[in-house]
Amino acid sequence: MEAALDRNGLGPVAGVDEAGRGACAGPLTVAACVLGPKPYASLADLDDSKKLTEKRREELFPKIQRLALAWSVVFIDAEEIDRIGLHVANIEGMRRAVAGLGMTPGYVLTDGFRVPGLPAPSLPVIGGDATAACIAAASVLAKVSRDRVMVEMDAAIPGYGFAVHKGYSTKAHSSAMIRLGPCEQHRMSYANVSAAAAGRAASVAPASGRMDHGNSSAR
């Protein structure tokens, strides 16, 4: 796909993808990547990051950084996601990632949906991270970058298991949220997070309320 666009004078072609859209904690991470028009042998098994093992993603990450004509990774934190909404945050992240490339692409391929406001013509590609090399490369850059942030977050905010589930809504993560209450890295606009916060508050408030009522009766 990139080669065809390049042959028609529409290169260089940038691919854009995100990681963390379905998580309820941690940042939304968006990457843009421009690869050369010819395939690289060392990236022959490049694919959608979700289809690759963690080990293979980590191996591909520095190769992509070295071989790419340009690449960019941006992070949108939980507070901004809550403030502007996930879809708007995703669109804004893609714009920022393309703007951060340091070069103006001739064409942009995005994974799944249209992104208005880009500095070049663009095309949404359904399943793009499995069909366009530049999108697959962006997918790996976004996933590895976000996973590393979540491991660091786990060390800074222990107890939630961020290094294991990476902020996604696993059973262990849900149990930790109920036990500890959500932290500043949780997306409070998400139903499961707000429910955990409400459940945590409810588990404390009734006991406090009964104590106040008992003291009042005694007086």
User: Distance (Å, rounded) from C-alpha 219 to C-alpha 212?
Assistant: 11
Instruction: Count the Cβ atoms, other than its own, within 10 Å of residue 219.
Output: 5
Considering the entire predicted model, what is its pTM? 0.88
Highest average pLDDT, of 46-50, 108-112, 158-162, comes from 158-162
Q: What percentage of residues in the chain have a pLDDT greater than 90?
A: 73
∠ CA 95-151-149, rounded to 5°: 20
Q: Give 26's DSSP letter.
A: S
Helix axis angle, 191-218 to 171-180, nearest 10°: 30
CATH code for the part of the protein at 2-156 = 3.30.420.10
Q: Tokens standing for 157?
A: 């905010």
Mean predicted confidence (pLDDT) in 202-218: 43
Instruction: Tell me what the mean pLDDT of segment 69-95 comes to.
Output: 97
Specify the DSSP element, H or E, that contains 156.
Answer: helix 133-156
**DSSP E strands, 27-69:** 28-34
Domain boundaries along the sequence of the chain: 2-156
User: How confident is the model over 139-171, as pLDDT tens digits?
Assistant: 999 999 999 999 999 999 999 999 999 999 999
Amino acid at position 136, single letter: A
Alpha-carbon torsion 74, 80, 82, 88, what sign? negative
- Judged on CB neighbours under 10 Å (0-12, 13-18, 19+), 144 is buried
